[in-house]
Amino acid sequence: MTVKRGVNDDEIGDVIRHGQSFACVRGVTLQPIQNAGRVEAYDAAKHRLTVSELRRRIAEQSGVFTPADVLPVPCNPDTLAMAYALRGPDGLVPLTRYLDAATLLAGDRSTIVFEGDPALKAAVFNLFSTNHSPESQSNCLSELLCCLPKIDAPRLSYRDVFRVLIVQFMDAQSLDIRALKKSCIHIAQADGRMVPFEAYNIFYRDERQAELAAIRAEIDAQREQRLHIRPKVVPLVRA
């Protein structure tokens, strides 16, 4: 679901509840609008939403999740956030509130080990990977629950899982090189290059690749010109 401020950002809770009402629906993905594709009359000051703003709307409208339940996804915490829940007889039971956000953000460089349990830390990272198949996702969730004895859950399958994912794509105005380098979503090029999705939208989609090539050629020509222009040497004259 693409979310645009003032258009449908008050429908997030209804969409989550609607998805939850179908056993075949495993989650909802929310994508704040960016200046790309078929967008019309876009005004960033009026229509843009941040990940934090979407987290608050999920908490305000869902009746299930709190902002603390929507945790950053380790591969790119600036642009991705996720809440996991289990389907129960009385509705959704948020799971991510039992996890430590610092563990997700710190990665392998961290000395923080949640509850002193390396197995739990590994299970958290595996669960929040974005490349799961249905089977691997439920397996990772089962492994995580084994590390959390406070949560009593039966043998899980994919149908027991419901997640809400925020995926924020950048445009030319919001482009962040640091976040771009951590992008989890790529477009494969014919020559084998893997281009981050946001970079593809800005520089490579449709006619933009030709424009990029022209800009690169102009920059190369200017650089060559500077290399061939020798600086004028002014002799020093002592008084």
- pTM equals 0.69
Contact in structure between 163 and 26 (CB atoms under 8 Å): yes
The pLDDT value given to residue 114: 33
Q: How confident is the model at residue 78 (pLDDT cuts 50, 70, 90)?
A: confident
- What does the pLDDT look like over 42-52, one tens digit per residue? 898 899 999 99
- Is the model's pLDDT at 87 over the cut of 90? no
The pLDDT value given to residue 158: 63
Residue 102 to residues 37, 163, 203: CA-CA distances in angstroms? 35, 20, 34
Q: How confident is the model at residue 21 (pLDDT cuts 50, 70, 90)?
A: very high
The two structure tokens encoding residue 121:
């830390």
The pLDDT value given to residue 152: 47
The pLDDT value given to residue 200: 87
Residue spans of beta strands (DSSP E) within 53-172? 71-72, 80-88, 91-94, 161-167
- What does the pLDDT look like over 184-208, one tens digit per residue? 888 898 889 899 888 888 888 877 8
Contact in structure between 100 and 54 (CB atoms under 8 Å): no
Spatial distance between the Cα atoms of 118 and 141, rounded to a whole number of angstroms: 16
Lowest mean pLDDT among 20-34, 38-52, 81-95, 135-149: 135-149
Q: How confident is the model at residue 126 (pLDDT cuts 50, 70, 90)?
A: low
Domain extent listing, the chain: 2-167, 186-228
Which has more confidence, 107 or 102? Answer: 102
Phi-psi region of 6 (alpha: psi -120 to 50; beta: other; left: phi over 0): left
Spatial distance between the Cα atoms of 164 and 92, rounded to a whole number of angstroms: 11
- Is the model's pLDDT at 17 over the cut of 90? yes
Query: What is the mean predicted confidence (pLDDT) over 51-67?
Result: 95
Spatial distance between the Cα atoms of 71 and 67, rounded to a whole number of angstroms: 8
